[in-house]
A and B are shown apart, each in its own frame.
Chain A
Amino acid sequence: MRLPLPIPAPRVNGDNQETPQEDDAVKFIWFNLMPWPYLPDDFREKNRSVWVDIDQRLFDPAKSHEVYNTYMDLLEYADTLGFDGVGVNEHHQNGYGIMPSPNLIAAGLARRTKNAAIVVLGNSIALYNPPVRVAEEFAMLDCISGGRLVAGFPVGTSMDTNYCYGQIPALTREKYAEAHDLIIKAWTTREPFAFNGRYNKLRHVNIWPRPIQQPHPPVHIPGGGSVETYDFCIDNTYSYSYLSFTGYIRAKALLQGYWDRVAARDAPDASPYRAGFAQTICVAETDEEAERLYAKHLNYFYNRCLHVYPGFADAPGYRTIKTIQSGALSQYAPPKGFGELTWKDLTEGGHVIAGSPETVRQRMEELIKGLNVGHIFCLMHVGDMPADKCMYSSRLFAEKVMPKLRGVLPQCEGDERFWCHPLERRATPGSLPAEYARATEPA
């Protein structure tokens, strides 16, 4: 298809010492869920779930070759546009997220991006045996990227953690907490140590390599309204990320709950960097063009990709009784009848922020100020959107929207606790000469 704006060649940035944005600015992380773009039109009619027991035959490995490489190209393109970070996450047996190992994608990005933070949001640490594996892989990512890692530790959805990976729901949080303690200790202890956990018995913990960032990379915790997760973030100075697909209007109550908790637990501040939020965003020259270009892809995502069998939603025991009693869940459950959502529903309901740069700017400002969030996970690739539209939308956002939003939360100023701190001088991947005539030091 032809687009009104030509897609420019990626900006060549010869200065590999440039560091990511560290000024008083809202951070924008370009995020790709990596949806499978070939779910059939009658997917919902013929399948009970996009997740857990999705039909094997709908995945085509040969087609995935193109899909994966395009998706990674788009993440790399986002770096050239000046996004503060590029984001990846972990899902299993899932038609809207073909990224069971985000670390593999992040490893590619660590090489092929220059400035963006590598935001892995994250590794479901209760799933790895032993979780030292996560400490090691994140350390490798931090070393390869020159200290650009932002480390995410989700508990993991019930679909991923319990139904796909078989963790016992009522023990998942205890195992998660132990995995967290082990990883942080492995990152920060400079002597071999013994770890006698309930789920991990390790006589010699001594990770090698360890991360560049000290005492350890910043930690972001994706959550879905559990009181325990709020407290965990507040107590450890981690950023709480709410990764919903239902948009900022519906997120108000949940994030208000978080900020209330921040106040109630006497946190030293309410820095917007204590929180992050995922928002689907589509930008075009005009509102009309946005609808014309993007409506079908939003329809694909919201009405096809989110078709999850309700029996997989929350294994009993996965949520604590305290969280269920808080009444949060009923409000945050996906509204019934996702299948009926139209362009009008999605944009007016705030699931999606879409339109001209000015329309998007206004609504993003409302989002950022309304939720008091310093990290925006920009879901710029949606459903079965082809690369050209995604690049067009991303570039308009980066050039015409992002600069006007950076300063809307001046209280971010000087707060470096929640973002990565890359090396000043970083290597240039792929800069060896094609070949050497001879080795400089004969054997």
Chain B
Amino acid sequence: MALQSKTIATRHAEVRYLEGGEGQPLLYLHGAGGMTAEDPILAALAARWHVIAPFLPGYGETEECGSLRDMLDFTLHTADVAAALGLEDPLIVGHSMGGMIAAEMAAIAPGDVSRLALICPAGLWLDDHPIPDVFTLLPYEMPGYLFHDPEAGASLMTAGLKMDDPEFLKTYLIRNARQMGMAGKILFPIPERGLADRLYRIKAKTVVVWGESDRLIPPVYGPAFAAGIAGATLVSIPEAGHMVILEKPAEVVAAVASLN
């Protein structure tokens, strides 16, 4: 069942979101690469939960939002979206940048978040394991960092895209600049904004999920997150990279289901 695209306004922005499925509410926060209604992870989650997946302003077809500047703005904005949708203590699932925002939400308002799934989240920095500078990567270099199988990953990324059509390419470049420009506010030049000092506040039952072949945020970050959050469990998924949500959606859903 396809998710539906809807809009809701917060104080700062018109927010587009995807909604589908039935059951307990699940708030899904996408990564820096963005999200589409066709993403297999959304369909897989919607088979089991009532999924609400907001686009960060600047993502999808939406305008960037100048008044969202820093980590606190992003965190409170996302809480505003949940509140505007009437969601009370939804299961929060965040991938990569979305995981960073989800963890911040759970740390800032620990009483509001009782279940949390962090899928290869950003937000920590280990000097011995520097994360590649995603902002300097050229499109052809991306799959090598994002996928267990870069070749298959490249075709997943560009499926249906007319990369040799100049008009399409222009639209694509503008969208990329808009999206990554917004993401840069919390990820550039180092994707760390002090979360390590706040992780202790998280009270949610938490599962941390990592693709074993993640070459963007290496799997060594998994134990670092798990160690910082009381009672968190760590699930490693073999033969999956940073885009574990594309490569192994069923395994991700199973890990999230462990929270129920």
Among A136-144, A145-153, A314-322, A379-387, the stretch that binds chain B is: A314-322
**Does chain B have a CB within 8 A of A38?**
no
A163 at the interface (CB under 8 A from B): yes
Interface flags, A307-328, vs B, CB<8A=1, else 0: 0011110111111010011010
Category for how many chain B residues contact A: 20 to 34
Please give, as numbers and ranges, the residues of chain B lying within 8 Å of A162 by CB-CB distance: 135, 188-189
A-B interface, 4 closest residue pairs, ranked by CB to CB distance from nearest: A317-B181, A316-B180, A311-B136, A170-B181
Chain B 169-207, CB-CB to A under 8 Å as 1, else 0, gives 010011011111111110011100000000000000000
Give the residues in chain B near A321, CB-CB below 8 Å. Answer: 64, 174, 177-178
Main secondary structure of the interface of A (DSSP, over half): helix
CB distance from B9 to the nearest CB of A (A): 21
Whether B174 pairs with A170 at a CB distance below 8 angstroms is no
Tell me, yes or no, whether B159 is within 8 Å of chain A by CB: no
Q: Which of B151-169 contact A (CB under 8 A)?
A: none
User: Given contacts A168-B184, A319-B177, A325-B174, is CB(A311)–CB(B189) below 8 Å?
Assistant: no
A311-B137 CB under 8 A given contacts A170-B64, A321-B177, A324-B173? yes
A321, B185: Cα distance in complex, Å:
16
A334 within 8 Å of B by Cβ?
no
Query: 18 pairs across A/B with beta carbons < 8 Å?
Result: A162-B189, A163-B189, A166-B188, A166-B190, A168-B188, A170-B64, A309-B136, A311-B135, A311-B137, A311-B141, A312-B136, A314-B177, A315-B184, A317-B181, A321-B178, A324-B174, A325-B174, A327-B170
Whether the pair B177, A163 counts as a contact (CB closer than 8 A) is: no
Q: Are B136 and A317 in contact (CB under 8 A)?
A: no
- Provide the bound-state CA to CA distance between A325 and B188, in Å: 23
A327–B173 Cα distance when bound, in Å, is: 11
**Interfacial residues of chain A within 313-370, with CB under 8 A of chain B in the complex:** 314-319, 321, 324-325, 327, 330
Query: Does B1 touch A at the CB level, under 8 Å?
Result: no
- The answer to whether the Cβ of B69 comes within 8 Å of any Cβ in the partner chain is yes
- Residues from chain B with a CB closer than 8 A to the CB of A170 are 64, 181-182, 184-185
Q: Mark A151-178, 1 if CB is under 8 A from B, else 0.
A: 0000000000011001011110010000
State which of B170, B179, B184 has its C-beta within 8 Å of the C-beta of A169: B184
Chain A residues whose CB sits within 8 angstroms of the CB of B183 once the complex forms:
316
User: Which residue of the partner chain B has the closest CB to A310?
Assistant: B138
Q: How many residue-residue contacts, CB under 8 A, span A and B?
A: 66
Residues on A with beta carbons closer than 8 Å to the beta carbon of B181: 169-170, 316-318
B136 touches A166 (CB 8 A): no
Which chain A residues in 171-210 approach chain B with CB under 8 Å?
171, 174, 198
User: How many A residues are at the interface, by size bracket?
Assistant: 20 to 34
Contact across chains for B180 and A317 when beta carbons are under 8 A apart: yes
Question: Which A positions have Cβ atoms within 8 angstroms of B?
Answer: 162-163, 166, 168-171, 174, 198, 309-312, 314-319, 321, 324-325, 327, 330
Residue of B nearest to A330 (CB): B170
A77 to chain B, nearest CB (A): 39
Nearest CB of B to A310, in Å = 6
Residues on B with C-beta less than 8 A from A316 are: 135, 176-181, 183-184
Closest residue of chain B to A169, judged by CB? B184
A318 to B180, CA, bound (A): 10
Bound Cα distance A384, B109 (Å): 60
Contacts of A314 in B (CB 8 A): 177
Closest chain A residue to B68, Cβ basis: A170
Task: List residues of B (31-68) whose CB comes within 8 Å of A's CBs.
Answer: 64, 66
A3 to B109, CA, bound (A): 76
Q: How far is the CB of A217 from chain B (nearest CB, A)?
A: 31
Q: Which of A166, A171, A327, A330 contacts B185 (CB 8 A)?
A: A171
Tell me, in angstroms, the Cα distance from A178 to B50 when the chains sit together: 44
- The 8 Å CB contact of B182, one of A166, A315, A317, is A317
Q: How far is the CA of A436 from the CA of B89 in the complex (A)?
A: 83
| A199 and chain B: residue at smallest CB distance | B69
A161 vs chain B, min Cβ distance (A): 11
- Closest CB-CB distance, B121 to chain A, in whole Å? 20
